[in-house]
A = this chain, B = another copy of it.
Amino acid sequence: MSGTNSKKQMISEGPIIILVEPQLGENIGMVARAMANFGLDDLRIVAPRDGWPNEKAISAASKADHVLDGAQIFDDLSSAIADLNFVLATTARERDGHKPVQGPVSAAKELRVRFKRGEKIGILFGRERIGLRNDEVSLADELVTFPVNPAFASLNISQAVLLMSYEWLKSGLDSETDIPHQSPDFAPAEKHHLRGLIDQVEEALDSRGYFRSKKKRPALIDNLRAVFSRPAFSENEIFFLRGVFSSLDQYSRSAPKGKSGPGLGGRSADDGLNDE
């Protein structure tokens, strides 16, 4: 097996998607797009109702042409899976219980394990209206069913393909969860920056008589410090806020709009975040 040489290569390998007698070209196109979104490109179609190629499929694929161009057409399901080692069938309905059933996450993990082992793997998706017939399901090794609202359980086939393709891609990511949670790319500022901001605001308020009585002053100052400390502002954010407070503090409302109110002395408005 290849698939480990480069990221690019890995992202075009995976299970073969097999559509059984799809009815609408639009759905086939959207299946191709969903596959491409998650790095799959091997599509097989059993007896498409409206023949092949299909113009509506092409326009619905939104440029996932490589998937449609490479699609193989088969007369029957048995031929379509003849060269595969392991086949999953997707199903919404309860089946007879002869085969193992699992959800998409564990199914994708199992597929990944088999794929790494060198097996050729495929996933079956049934017709829009009636899904897979029992004789078709019987050709599969295991079943996948989706966790859905029981009162509204019918997934569009392109949506079902999307979910399996998505779980396939996720099963190959290093972390189990998914994309690592990226915190904003700035750290909380060193405390002296925060101190500078708070001192500035305190002084500006004080000069306006904001703290009023001596009795209330300590609690008000506690509040002020709490509110400005809690967000863990970054250095850039603090720089920006100091400009805002300078403008409010040092200039009066009367300054004509658009003129250089805060340009001198205080921080000017284009300091700060904007230039990062």
Q: Do A170 and B147 touch across chains, with their CB atoms under 8 A apart?
A: yes
Residues 91-131 of A at the B interface (beta carbon under 8 Å) = 97-106
Copies of this chain, complex-wide, total 2
Q: Do B201 and A244 touch across chains, with their CB atoms under 8 A apart?
A: yes
Q: Do B179 and A145 touch across chains, with their CB atoms under 8 A apart?
A: yes
Q: Do A208 and B251 touch across chains, with their CB atoms under 8 A apart?
A: yes
Residues 176-191 of A at the B interface (beta carbon under 8 Å) = 177-186
Q: Is A212 an interface residue (CB 8 A)?
A: yes
Q: Is A274 an interface residue (CB 8 A)?
A: yes
Checking B212, B230, B263 against A258 with a beta-carbon cut-off of 8 angstroms, the contacting residue is: B212
Residues on the B chain within 8 Å of A155, using CB: 37
Query: Closest Cβ of chain B: how far from A95's Cβ, in Å?
Result: 10
Query: Closest Cβ of chain B: how far from A250's Cβ, in Å?
Result: 8
Residue of B nearest to A268 (CB): B212
Q: Do B36 and A149 touch across chains, with their CB atoms under 8 A apart?
A: yes
Interface SS majority for chain A: loop
Query: Closest Cβ of chain B: how far from A213's Cβ, in Å?
Result: 8
Residue of B nearest to A259 (CB): B209
Q: Do B274 and A219 touch across chains, with their CB atoms under 8 A apart?
A: yes
Residues on the B chain within 8 Å of A220, using CB: 269-270, 274
Q: Is A39 an interface residue (CB 8 A)?
A: yes
Q: Do A207 and B152 touch across chains, with their CB atoms under 8 A apart?
A: no
Q: Supply 7 A–B pairs (Cβ within 8 Å), ascending by A.
A: A11-B151, A105-B178, A145-B179, A147-B169, A204-B253, A207-B253, A223-B274
Known: A210-B251, A223-B240; 15 extra A-B contacts, CB below 8 A, are A33-B156, A39-B151, A63-B152, A101-B181, A149-B169, A184-B230, A205-B244, A207-B253, A207-B254, A209-B262, A210-B261, A213-B258, A223-B273, A223-B274, A226-B273
- Chain A to chain B: the 10 pairs with minimum beta-carbon distance, closest first: A231-B231, A209-B261, A103-B179, A103-B178, A39-B149, A36-B152, A97-B185, A208-B251, A207-B253, A248-B248
